Amino acid sequence: MTRPGPRAAILISGRGSNMAAILDNATAEGWSDQIALVASNRPEAEGLGLATARGVPTAVLDHQPYGTEHRGRFDTDLAELVLAHGATWVVLAGFMRILGPGFLSHFPDRILNIHPSLLPRHPGLHTHRRALEAGDREHGCTVHLVNESLDGGPILAQKAVPILPDDDEDRLAARVLVEEQRLFPQVVRAALEGRLQRSDACGDPASSSQTKAVFT
């Protein structure tokens, strides 16, 4: 039986590794009934099969038929899909579409994203390569609220890893992914349990290898 209260929809575009980590944590820790849906904009996304195998409802809303001309309509239809499944929070777990006002307006301060860098450093793509090229001593991941700025919403939690002398892009990415899969489920659960405390700053994002979080 599904308990009353906040529920989340997880949006993916690919293999769904962070999604799987969230679902596995939810099952192990007893909050799996708070996951309403896993949805993708790509019918071939591998993560859909992982969600189905875990008993989570799935849906596809392919963005391609909308093209660029009807991008706003895609955002609206996606919001309606999420709301129809009873979700009040949205979790972006490798969802490779930039969401516009037609979606964001339905979930103010209730969309979570994980980004593979210590924001505000290295927003956007190719973060591991850019961290290496910049000579950074640390890299990591950030969970933040989503707004209309690219990777610019309020930071909720971060985890840093050291950059080692023999690191290449793949080695660094693998170590960061381990931390993503530890951190993201914690923040998603905190959001659903009302334990998030919004803050527009989380200190120096690269000053410590300790997790930084504003949830209790």
**Angle subtended by helix axes 46-53 and 17-29, to nearest 10:** 10
pLDDT of 210 above 50: no
Tens digits of residue pLDDT in 105-119: 999 999 999 999 999
For this structure, is 122 an active site residue? no
| Angle, helix 17-29 to helix 169-192, in steps of 10 degrees | 40
Question: For a pLDDT cut of 70, what percent of the chain falls above it?
Answer: 89
β-strand partners of 143: 114, 157
CATH number belonging to domain 8-213: 3.40.50.170
* Set 63, 70, 106, 115: catalytic member: 115
Residue 202: predicted pLDDT: 44
Chain-centre distance for alpha carbon 14: 13
**pTM, two decimal places:** 0.91
Using one digit for the tens of pLDDT, what is the confidence trace for 43-80? 999 999 999 999 999 999 999 999 999 999 999 999 99
DSSP annotation of 66? G
Query: How does pLDDT run across 16-43, given as a tens digit for each residue?
Result: 999 999 999 999 999 999 999 999 999 9
Q: Looking at per-residue confidence, does 202 or 54 come out higher? A: 54
156-166 as b/e: b if 16+ CB within 10 A? bbbbbbebeee
